[in-house]
């Protein structure tokens, strides 16, 4: 058994190294090269085959059929690997272009740079292709191919759209692309064996994972009994310097707050969607000054200041800002009137187009519309100069009425509009992150003192931290709900949204753990603080935009949610490891406490690995439903798999006894978290790929 253990260790390390190297190869040579020379090479397949063989031998040597859960879990992994092998050997993936009215019965396959043609046992005929847009905009909401299937003398109507595939005689067709001539491009997948075997492995995996947690005599339940009622979590002290606020000698002129608010209530076409001008103002202000407010001015006042008091606001640009061409171009676009597409016009077919004051207007536009569009801005400027604020407010109110009239109802529903305006007001700045970090450090320091005295955390501090965490959890949940309502989709598809969800997940986990584990509160405060800080550093709060059709699947939302919860648990384990190292050097003889810390980390590791595995495979199912390929060896996918393998090692303490030693376990948990950092940040910032947020 010892030789098998060493063989498995070498094979798993080699696989992890090969996959990590493959992401670097893809960075510099492209995905096709990486697929041909790494992921699709004979030696890479051989590594997986040897690892699977070693797993089978180990299962038999250890007589795991006597432990049904373990046997079922590893059998599911073998099935997934077998499905991947069948897909590689027997599956076909290609592309076909359908022209309206032209029957097509073949598709193109490209492998290793060489193209070939494959025939279908039936024909497809495109009736017409349709781009479905979001109401009142020209942003695509869905792409739909209306076609007919001709097979053995029978004709059947069918539709293909994003997240709605066509399955026919073991072939699957996905909406991939289209062109301006009305042709539809479909992705074609023919994998009669691999998909079925792989999905069987997924189902078996979910069943075995659920069984693992409810099994009475299992390791997870034993750990829960062993650690009940003990203080077990500690966190590391991490400090960050406070940012200095900018001070200005004098404040520039702008609109009164009430008038600026009326301006923010108007509609504007921004980032492909109709939204309150308040949203544009907030994004505009954040891009110029790094935060949503400037010296107490609201975003609408900042936008109004640049519109009507340009000379005053030029002095607010620092030399550093002037070096950034993007910001200067943004100001120029605003002053040219191109940014404010706030005047809707319906053509003869009822299609709505939003124009700015200086856009070329259609010839059929009425005189009333033409005059209002051309004169609105100059009229507002006149009232600002003459300080006739009452007249200015009337123009702004009439503009909103004009917008609702000529948009023919194609503006945001009232609930969505109100949710977006509330959200824009509630979004917090950097103070929230720094408050959390400060409270976390304070609680941690006091907890160390209490730990040395053998006492629990001071009750007033525990109560205050709990109340703060409840309020923070409610605040983040409210932001999540408001973004959901305002955007019309579950907000999980970008770096800002995913970090917000991660912070919310940590808050919930902290509150659930705080009654049982004393140090959960300091850990939760620090983690949420750093997550919110990373969210802030990552850039301005992005505007709420319409999603690409491919991102509207509920499976994507479930995938992101599960992965974020797993990351939150792994973050707790890493901080727990750092705490154990601190205790090890401050109290060398306290080995019992390190063991208790290890037990708690193991309690969190089981669901973390289970959720990470579930999240990866839910994402694979989503990808397969969306574009016919459940695994593309994208850097994000690869590093997620690497992370899963790295964290699976400590769960096999009977195979690798070194993980039974608390000090080794905690050191490993600290280093292992680097894979999470690379998966989330390294891929996004350095490696790129389909999943990158950069």
Are 235 and 384 members of one domain? no
* SS3 sequence of 447-498: HHHHHHHCCCCCHHHHHHHHHHHHHHHHHHHHHHHHHHHHHCCCCCCCHHHH
User: Percentage of the chain with pLDDT > 90?
Assistant: 22
Are 234 and 292 members of one domain? no
Q: Is the pLDDT of residue 35 over 50?
A: yes
Are 262 and 232 members of one domain? no
pLDDT (tens digit per residue) in 372-397: 998 888 899 999 998 899 999 999 99
Last residue of a domain, one of 389, 411, 433: 411
Q: Which has the closest alpha carbon to 301: 326, 322, 325, 284? A: 284
The reply to whether 468 falls in a domain is yes
Range of the domain at 306: 257-411
Are 473 and 364 members of one domain? no
Q: Is the pLDDT of residue 60 over 80?
A: yes
User: Percentage of the chain with pLDDT > 70?
Assistant: 85
Structure letter (DSSP) for residue 154: E
pLDDT (tens digit per residue) in 149-165: 999 888 999 999 876 88
User: Which residue pairs, CB below 8 angstroms and at least 24 apart, start in 336-343?
Assistant: 337/377, 339/280, 339/284, 340/268, 340/277, 340/280, 340/377, 341/268, 341/269, 341/270, 342/266, 342/267, 342/268, 342/269, 342/277, 342/399, 342/403, 343/369, 343/372, 343/373, 343/376, 343/402, 343/403, 343/406
Q: Is the pLDDT of residue 237 over 70?
A: no
pLDDT score for 429 = 67
Q: How far apart are CA 418 and CA 429, in angstroms?
A: 21
Are 518 and 667 members of one domain? yes
The reply to whether 555 falls in a domain is yes
Are 183 and 227 members of one domain? no
The reply to whether 353 falls in a domain is yes
Q: Is the pLDDT of residue 452 over 60?
A: no
Confidence of residue 552 (pLDDT cuts 50, 70, 90): low
The reply to whether 31 falls in a domain is no
Confidence of residue 548 (pLDDT cuts 50, 70, 90): low
The reply to whether 205 falls in a domain is no
Confidence of residue 455 (pLDDT cuts 50, 70, 90): low
Pick the more confident residue, 500 or 403.
Answer: 403
pLDDT score for 231 = 35
Number of domains, the chain: 3
Are 475 and 578 members of one domain? yes
Residue environment code for 132-164, b if the CB has 16+ CB neighbours within 10 A, otherwise e: ebbebbebbbbbbbbbebeeeeeeeeeebbbbe
Are 277 and 374 members of one domain? yes
Are 352 and 450 members of one domain? no
Confidence of residue 343 (pLDDT cuts 50, 70, 90): very high
Are 180 and 222 members of one domain? no
pLDDT score for 226 = 64
Show the tokens assigned to 670: 């600290």
Last residue of a domain, one of 411, 441, 470: 411
Indicate the pTM of the whole model.
Answer: 0.64
Are 555 and 591 members of one domain? yes
Are 602 and 669 members of one domain? yes
pLDDT score for 694 = 45
pLDDT (tens digit per residue) in 660-681: 899 999 999 999 999 988 887 7
pLDDT score for 357 = 86
Burial of residue 16 (number of CB atoms within 10 Å: 0-12, 13-18, 19+):
middle
The reply to whether 405 falls in a domain is yes
pLDDT (tens digit per residue) in 565-613: 788 788 888 888 887 888 788 777 777 778 878 888 888 898 889 889 9
The reply to whether 40 falls in a domain is no
Pick the more confident residue, 401 or 244.
Answer: 401
pLDDT score for 693 = 44
The reply to whether 326 falls in a domain is yes
Q: What is the mean pLDDT of the chain?
A: 81
């Amino acid at each position: 058994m010892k030789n098998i253990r060493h063989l498995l260790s070498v094979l798993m390390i080699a696989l992890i190294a090969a996959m990590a190297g493959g992401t670097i190869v893809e960075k510099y040579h492209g995905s096709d090269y990486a697929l041909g020379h790494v992921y699709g090479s004979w030696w890479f397949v051989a590594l997986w085959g040897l690892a699977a063989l070693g797993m089978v031998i180990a299962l038999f040597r250890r007589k795991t059929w006597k432990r049904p859960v373990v046997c079922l879990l590893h059998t599911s992994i073998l099935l997934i690997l077998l499905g991947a092998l069948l897909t590689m050997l027997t599956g076909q993936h290609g592309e076909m272009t359908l022209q309206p009215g032209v029957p097509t019965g073949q598709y193109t396959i490209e492998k290793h740079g060489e193209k070939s043609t494959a025939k279908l046992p039936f024909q497809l005929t495109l009736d017409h292709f349709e781009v479905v847009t979001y109401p009142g905009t020209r942003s695509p909401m869905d792409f739909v191919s209306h076609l007919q299937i001709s097979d053995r003398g029978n004709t059947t109507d069918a539709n293909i759209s994003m997240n709605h595939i066509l399955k026919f005689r073991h072939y699957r067709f996905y909406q991939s692309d289209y062109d301006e001539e009305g042709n539809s491009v479909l992705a074609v997948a023919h994998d009669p064996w691999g998909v079925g075997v792989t999905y069987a492995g997924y189902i078996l995996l979910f069943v075995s994972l659920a069984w693992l947690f409810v099994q009475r005599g299992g390791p997870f339940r034993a750990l829960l009994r062993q650690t009940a009622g003990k203080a077990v979590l500690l966190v590391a002290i991490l400090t960050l310097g406070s940012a200095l606020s900018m001070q200005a000698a004098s404040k520039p002129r702008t609109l009164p707050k009430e008038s600026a608010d009326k301006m923010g209530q108007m509609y504007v076409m921004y980032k492909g969607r109709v939204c309150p001008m308040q949203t544009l103002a907030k994004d505009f202000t954040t891009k110029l000054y790094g935060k949503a407010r400037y010296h107490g001015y609201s975003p609408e006042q900042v936008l109004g200041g640049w519109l009507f008091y340009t000379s005053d606001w030029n002095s607010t640009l620092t030399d550093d800002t002037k070096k950034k061409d993007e910001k200067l171009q943004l100001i120029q676009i605003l002053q040219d009137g191109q940014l404010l597409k706030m005047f809707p016009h319906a053509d003869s077919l009822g299609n709505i187009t939003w124009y700015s004051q200086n856009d070329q207007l259609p010839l059929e536009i009425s005189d009333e519309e033409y005059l209002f569009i051309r004169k609105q801005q100059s009229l507002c400027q006149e009232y600002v100069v003459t300080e006739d604020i009452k007249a200015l407010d009337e123009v702004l109110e009439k503009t909103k009425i004009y917008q609702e009239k000529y948009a023919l109802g194609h503006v945001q529903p009232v609930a969505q509009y109100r949710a977006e305006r509330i959200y824009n007001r509630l979004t917090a700045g950097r103070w929230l992150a720094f408050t959390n970090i400060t409270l976390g450090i304070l609680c941690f320091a006091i907890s160390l003192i209490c730990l040395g005295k053998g006492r629990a955390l001071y009750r007033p501090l525990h109560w205050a931290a709990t109340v703060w965490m409840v309020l923070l959890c409610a605040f983040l949940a409210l932001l999540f709900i408001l973004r959901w309502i305002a955007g019309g989709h579950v907000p999980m598809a970008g770096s800002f949204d995913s970090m917000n969800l991660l912070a919310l997940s940590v808050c919930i986990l902290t509150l659930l753990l705080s009654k049982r584990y004393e140090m959960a509160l300091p850990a939760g405060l620090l983690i949420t603080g750093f997550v919110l800080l990373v969210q802030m550093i990552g850039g301005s709060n992005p505007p709420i935009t319409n999603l690409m059709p491919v991102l509207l699947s509920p499976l994507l939302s479930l995938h992101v949610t599960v992965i974020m919860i797993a990351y939150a648990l792994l973050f707790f384990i890493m901080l727990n490891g750092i705490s154990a190292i601190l205790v090890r050097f401050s109290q060398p003889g306290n080995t019992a406490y390190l063991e208790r810390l290890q037990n708690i980390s193991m309690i969190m590791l089981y669901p973390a690995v289970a959720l990470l595995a579930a999240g990866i495979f839910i994402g694979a199912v989503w990808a397969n439903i969306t574009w016919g390929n459940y695994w593309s060896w994208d850097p994000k996918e690869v590093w997620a798999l690497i992370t899963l393998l790295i964290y699976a090692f400590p769960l096999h303490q009977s195979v690798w006894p070194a993980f039974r030693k608390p000090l080794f376990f905690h050191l490993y948990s600290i280093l292992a978290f680097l894979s999470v950092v690379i998966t989330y940040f390294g891929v996004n910032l350095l490696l790129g790929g389909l999943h990158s947020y950069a």
